[in-house]
Structure 1
Amino acid sequence: MWRLLPRTAFARTVFLIALILVINQAVSYLMIAVYVVKPGVQQIVYLIGSQVETRALLERLDIENRDAVLRDYEALGGVEHFDFDEALEAGLEYTVAYSFLGNEISKVLGEPAEVRLSNNDDMYAWVRRSSAPDQWQRILLTEIDERTSSPIIFYLFLIGTLSVFGGIWFARWLNRPLKALQAAARKIAAGDDPGLLEERGASEIVQVTRAFNQMSRGIQRLEQDRNLLLAGISHDLRTPLTRIRLATEMMPSTEDYLVEGIVHDIDDMNAIIDQFIDYVRARDTATFTEEDLNVLVQDVVEGLQYIGEDDIKLTLAELPLVPMQAVAMKRVISNIIENAQHYGASPICIETGVTELTPTGEVSARTRVWLEVTDSGQGLDESKMDDVFEPFMQGNQARGGEGSGLGLAIVRRFVQLHQGEVSLRNHPDAGLIVRIELPLRHRNTVTPAA
């Protein structure tokens, strides 16, 4: 039952207002019918019954001028008498039977009666008593016009329509701050600073907005403190590492085996420090140009060291230019490939492609360029696929436990900066597939590549 209710606050508000209006209209119609229409109908029925009874009484009088009296009564009261054939000629066949009126008049007459109404130029009530089945009496209803009830219906319809549109406007006004909150929350989720929201609307929404602003400022301070900490640690580690490297270069040649190991460890530590710095500076890479993703992939692959020609297989489709920050995207591609090298196995397959093209093969607002990197390792535990994108988190033991745990966190941070998406899934045979998708339409201003 609850699943049938609208999901959004706006839709629920409109639904509630519409439901209240429907109930209000139903009650209004009921009240009008009971306290306005029904008493009027009862009065009309009583008058019609009285006229029919009066004419019947006059017909039973045994006086010489009875026919003249009947004609005078018909002229004054508008009551006409017809036999069946005359009634047909007078328009009986075009009348409509009303059982409700028939039941009410039967109570007045004290015997079953049939009532039919006609409405041509004038409205008439046709009455036939069970005691005289071949006789019809037609009464002119001079004070009744069906158009007199139309203003009530019109006003009810007008009030209902204005109330619905007023309710929709009120719901939009009430939910406008909530939409601003939703947009700001999405910015925070994407790593952006939404700024302070204007505190407006109902008191409850103002309080929520104020609490959201406080939370946003707290998140920004926490982010700044973390970035400052990472940057400070990364900077302070450079000096002792440099001294250690200088010291190793001064060691005698007889200890080259030690020098080689120390230098390798220093290079690893410098690489980890570079990852710290890249993670901290992710938001600063906001200058976008139109680039060819295939060119960046080839540049990264050509710059890889200690990798054979058969270790990487490229399947690059023809791609349109994508708005991106080239240095940041190279870091994304490099981190994904290094992750496949360290935790997977060769060969590593790199593919590119385009999705959501129009039937004529043209790009649209929904077109996205994608990149997939597939290794030949053991894959990753599906329960931990979301965790590996968090800073300092690593996958399961099957994929090793070395490194800083920032590789995929930097990947997601840079991809979100490009308003893209990154996802993981295991290959049906073996290995892990890392897929990124980048939109062609970007809200940032894009400078064509030189």
Structure 2
Amino acid sequence: MTNKWGSRRSERGPGLVLGLLLGGTGQAKKPGTNGPTDNLLDIDVYIEQAQQAERGKIHTIFLADALTTSETAPKPGLEPVTMLSALAARTSRIGLIGSISTSFTEPYNLARQVLSLDHISRGRAGWNLVTSSAGEKNFGKPLPAHDDRYAIAEEFAGVVQALWESWEADAVTYDHRGRQSVDAGKVHRIDWISDHFKVQGPLNVSRSPQDRPILAQAGTSTEGRRLGARIADVIFTTGLTETEPSIEIYRDFKERASSFGRSPDSVKILPGVAPVIGSTDEEAHRFWRKIIEEIDFEEGRKSLAGQFGGIDFEGIGLDAPIPIADLPQTADVQGRRSRFGVFRDLIESGKVRTVRDLIIYHSSGAGHWFPIGSVENIADQLQDRYERGATDGFNFLAFTLKYELGLSALTEHLIPELQKRGIFHRDYQHETLRQNLGL
């Protein structure tokens, strides 16, 4: 049957698109509980994860980014483009998508960095557009209100795309001796002037090996949906616990893309999922109990304030009900509005009742869906969402992949099961990320 943005799609469709979020294995672990990625400065850890993901034929790795760190509980990390450049040299087919803020950089710098990464990786790079919810004190510039940030981000993305296209595809040629020739008539100024930007160009990096790098966007607020549907190739959404709301989000993005004159197939919707995988359902639930046992609930309590409009949870007992009346309305949140909305919906629905429940959800999957079960059980659930038109694929978060097999639970067990069912490819078909995504 034909999928119409929500109806059951044919099992002979194009197949799942899969991504993997590299990085930590949890957000509030007890001291002394070690995971495979505790050292977030060790490039060898990231290289091994990326290579393992590539062996599993995952389409792309994805890097989130935190521009700031907590003063009371600081954590180190690496800058995304720098790190992805190192990974580009140690991989050959997997995509490399990094988050970069439109609020605290300039379009020319960003366009140059990402396009350089694209050449280094021979056409496997992407930019995940984020607007940031903090950083003004560190960068010495004001952080606009939520809706204004998205308006600026749309202009910003327009500048970047114009810079990426300022060189025609055949502007640079090489003779039989490898000597370079540039046709100046095929390199163009962009002369961009808008409310927030004035950029002349052209860029000093030539055209992308994949025509232009992949543009991803994360966010499902009203403004985020509009921006993503208008300009993005890939949308990273929060993977919701229930299927029907996920279908609504998927349908809404596809209809918005169509309203902008785009083919609905030109944008891939990838919700996050943090599966707890075992050889049996019983084993998976045993792993889940371990995850809960390792949560540092006091540290987790501190981390909640940034997601909940500055609400202080210090004076609330772990097993006390969450004071929903004290939480702001989602539309009033100026920070991470869409993620706040996910947590608020979980509280209002009764799925999250206490502060302890909230910390578990926040620490285990950052608000994303975390199905628990055997390889076959998890594959059934992913296949059901895909065939019901709730997604084009998934972005795996490794928060819960830290016991026994670790990431191998995904690459050596779950993915082969999806391949056996004919809903995930067995090998990369092309050289560039854009081609492998079917864009």
TM-score normalised according to structure 1 size: 0.20
TM-score normalised according to structure 2 size: 0.20
Q: Which of these two proteins has the greater Rg computed from alpha carbons? A: 1
Indicate the structure whose relative CO is greater, using CA pairs within 8 Å and at least 6 residues apart.
2
